[in-house]
Amino acid sequence: MESYWICPLLVLRQYRSRQFISAMQGLAQCEFAYNGDNYKKKVHEISNTW
C-alpha cells in the first residue's frame, strides 16, 4: 500500500499551518513509498536532508 498522502497530513498536524502545502506539491510524483526494501533507511535520509 502506497501512502503518498500521509506526509502532508502529518506536517499539517504537527505545525498546524497550511504554509507547507505548496512545498509538498511534488510528493505524489515522488518514487518513495513506505514499503519495499530499506524504506526505513530512505525515511532517515529524507528526514536528514530536511
Can you spell out the DSSP letters for 15-38?
Answer: H--STTTGGGTTGGG-S--S-STT
What is the rounded average pLDDT of the residues 14-24?
54
On the question of pLDDT at 35 being above 60, the answer is: yes
Domain extent at residue 23: 6-49
For 26, phi and psi rounded to 5 degrees?
-90, 0
Task: Kindly state the cell numbers that stand for 33.
Answer: 513509498
- Whether residue 28 is contained in a domain is answered as yes
Alpha carbon 21 to its chain centroid, in Å, reads: 11
**pLDDT-derived band of residue 21, with 50, 70 and 90 as boundaries?**
low
Total count of domains within the chain: 1
Q: Please give the pLDDT value at position 44.
A: 78
Task: Kindly state the cell numbers that stand for 10.
Answer: 502529518
- Whether residue 1 is contained in a domain is answered as no
Q: Please give the pLDDT value at position 39.
A: 72
On the question of pLDDT at 4 being above 60, the answer is: no
Q: Please, what's the largest Cα pairwise distance for the chain? A: 33
